[in-house]
């Protein structure tokens, strides 16, 4: 299917949101071993969920996965500071829309389509992994780009997005997700 058809899919997801999407080549997505160090020594969720390292692909495995695709859609969604947990809900709704898009595209013949989200999975209050049980939301849970060793900052920059680390929690967050498509 052509790239115009792909744009019809992603336009449904970004409509009405502070979001944009861009068709990218998977070779523009950068993987690096240091990214997982940020998870291991900077995130309280490391090792606690099925969508976080060490249960996600290593940077080398992710590179091989990326190289098995010819196209991807890089999504950028801005999340401004909102009252209460509204920012989290806004992002969870966006991530859910991407997983729904993945399912729709699969049914339409894109059998290799796969969504890679942002940040730790928050579908459950506590991951079933903590109790030694299988994932409660196995059909909807997806790993994050950073959890798979993807250098999100450089990958975004490689594809024309401006991104920098935030200094304050009140700043608008820039979240990136990747939908691999063939």
- The pLDDT tens digits for 142-172 are 999 999 999 999 999 999 999 999 899 888 8
Using CA atoms, how far apart are residues 14 and 21, in angstroms rounded to an integer? Answer: 7
Q: What is the pTM of this model?
A: 0.92
Total count of domains within the chain: 1
Tens of pLDDT, residues 75-125: 999 988 777 668 888 899 999 999 999 999 999 999 999 999 998 888 888
Q: What does 38-54 look like in DSSP terms, one character per residue?
A: HHHTT-TTTTTSTTSTT
Using CA atoms, how far apart are residues 140 and 153, in angstroms rounded to an integer? Answer: 25
Give the pLDDT confidence score for residue 81 in this predicted structure.
78
State the residue range of the domain holding 58: 3-181
Give the pLDDT confidence score for residue 23 in this predicted structure.
96
Q: Which two tokens stand for residue 105?
A: 């595209």
Residue 64 predicted with pLDDT over 90: yes
């Amino acid at each position: 299917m052509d790239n115009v058809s792909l744009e019809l899919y992603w336009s449904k997801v970004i409509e009405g949101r502070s979001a944009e999407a861009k068709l990218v080549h998977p070779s523009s997505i950068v993987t690096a071993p240091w990214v997982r160090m940020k998870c291991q020594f900077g995130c309280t969720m490391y090792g606690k969920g099925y969508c976080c390292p060490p249960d996600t692909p290593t940077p080398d495995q992710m590179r091989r996965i990326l190289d098995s695709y010819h196209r991807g859609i890089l999504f950028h969604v801005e999340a401004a500071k909102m009252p209460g947990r509204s920012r989290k809900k806004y992002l969870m709704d966006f991530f859910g829309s991407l997983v729904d898009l993945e399912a729709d595209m699969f049914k339409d013949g894109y059998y290799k389509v796969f969504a890679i989200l942002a940040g730790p999975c928050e579908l459950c209050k506590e991951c079933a992994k903590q109790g030694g049980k299988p994932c409660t939301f196995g059909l909807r849970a997806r790993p994050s780009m950073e959890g798979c060793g993807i250098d999100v900052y450089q990958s975004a920059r490689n594809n024309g997005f401006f991104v920098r680390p935030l200094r304050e929690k009140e700043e608008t967050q820039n979240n990136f997700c990747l939908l691999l498509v063939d």
